[in-house]
């Protein structure tokens, strides 16, 4: 009986000794995971800020090009009405092309700065995965 009690006592002490070690290891891994997640979030937010900057630049440049197109179309209308010569046709073609280019650039810029395109997708996926893992092990 004493040998059996002694063996159980040793096993119980080993389990108790490993419990603090396991908790420390779990804490270390959790902190390490959080650091990695924060690093990923920082990188991804930086990428999304770059995308937003590019989108804003496209919006600004697209606005200027569109404005130039409108001015050209206005000049075409003036030339066409004022002179009744073929110059207005070429001015309309040039103005139309410039306007289409500007409109396309505005559309691209607008798409780049939509909120859903600026979300840190990989970070959100990783956090969801981590949440599922924690729920499975809890």
Return the structure tokens found at 137.
């092990």
Integer Cα distance of 110 and 60 in angstroms: 11
Return the structure tokens found at 13.
């002490």
Return the structure tokens found at 43.
């990188």
Return the structure tokens found at 81.
């009405």
Q: pLDDT band at residue 111, thresholds of 50, 70 and 90?
A: confident
Q: pLDDT band at residue 122, thresholds of 50, 70 and 90?
A: confident
CB under 8 Å to 79, separation ≥6 — which residues? 85, 87, 88, 91
Q: What is the pLDDT of residues 51-110, one digit of tens each?
A: 888 989 999 999 999 989 888 877 877 777 566 667 767 777 777 887 888 899 998 888
Query: What is the model's pLDDT at position 103?
Result: 92
Query: What is the model's pLDDT at position 130?
Result: 81
């Amino acid at each position: 009986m004493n040998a059996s009690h002694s063996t159980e006592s040793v096993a119980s002490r080993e389990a108790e000794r490993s419990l603090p070690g396991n908790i420390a290891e779990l804490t270390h891994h959790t902190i390490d995971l959080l650091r990695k997640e924060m690093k990923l979030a920082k990188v991804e937010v930086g990428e999304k800020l770059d995308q937003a900057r590019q989108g804003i630049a496209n919006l600004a440049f697209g606005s200027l090009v569109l404005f130039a197109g409108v001015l050209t179309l206005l000049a075409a209308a003036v030339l066409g009405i004022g002179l009744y010569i073929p110059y207005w046709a070429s001015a309309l073609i040039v103005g139309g092309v410039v306007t289409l280019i500007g409109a396309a650039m505005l559309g691209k810029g607008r798409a780049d700065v939509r909120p859903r395109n600026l979300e840190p997708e990989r970070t959100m996926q990783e956090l969801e995965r981590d949440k599922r893992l924690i729920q499975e092990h809890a």
